[in-house]
Chains A and B, each alone.
Chain A
């Protein structure tokens, strides 16, 4: 699986959009970009994933650059409950493929 690079931490004001970047310059053609988040002492929560096109669901939007070497997760209106560590993962969707979490970005939403 391709390696990802994320900023260690970010702050965001409550009610504003949180834009979390991820670099994955070695991504291959059949690898998807997944985003999970983990609130302290809880299990990771799936947010969104995509292959080439931008994706949106009730939680967030995922913007993938045309060359697929980077992506941005957007939380449109961050709340205090969005404070968590956000993980960007690039992987092929095969059953035995370990979900590898790197360092992630610690997002702090402030009032």
Chain B
């Protein structure tokens, strides 16, 4: 089955701890994205990556970090510097690297709760 997987589905974290959210895709897509969604709100872009070993900040990158060592993987670390980390985190991918890109497809999401 081709698609995007995110794990875990639910994640609980104590304040002051870093946590890493996994995102894997087997669609052979060049571009990958991380979004955050708060209750009743739209999506906000955290980071995106057009190609391996390259990534760019989105609108709300503070308190987050990413890496793109492999084409199929784009993990997101929520650090203790993120003031309000409790949210629904969505990973997406699209074909095309730089320039024109294809449709973005989303994973099932990870719901992070900070206790």
Contact = CB atoms under 8 A, between A and B. Distances in A.
Contact of A94 (B42, B88, B99): B99
B94 A95 contact: yes
Interface stretch (B65-73, B74-82, B101-109): B101-109
B104 A99 contact: yes
Contacts of B31: 95
Interface residues of B, number: 33
Contacts, number: 63
B98 A98 contact: no
A interface: dominant SS: loop
B interface: dominant SS: strand
Interface residues of A, number: 20
A97 B42 CA distance: 15
Given A43-B6, A44-B43, A100-B42, 17 more contacts: A41-B88, A41-B109, A42-B108, A42-B109, A43-B109, A44-B106, A45-B106, A46-B104, A46-B106, A49-B103, A94-B99, A94-B100, A95-B97, A95-B100, A95-B101, A98-B45, A99-B33
15 contacts: A41-B111, A44-B106, A45-B106, A46-B106, A93-B100, A93-B101, A94-B100, A95-B48, A95-B96, A98-B43, A98-B59, A99-B35, A99-B45, A100-B43, A101-B43
Which 6 A-B residue pairings sit nearest by Cβ, starting from the closest?
Answer: A101-B42, A43-B106, A98-B45, A95-B101, A43-B109, A95-B31
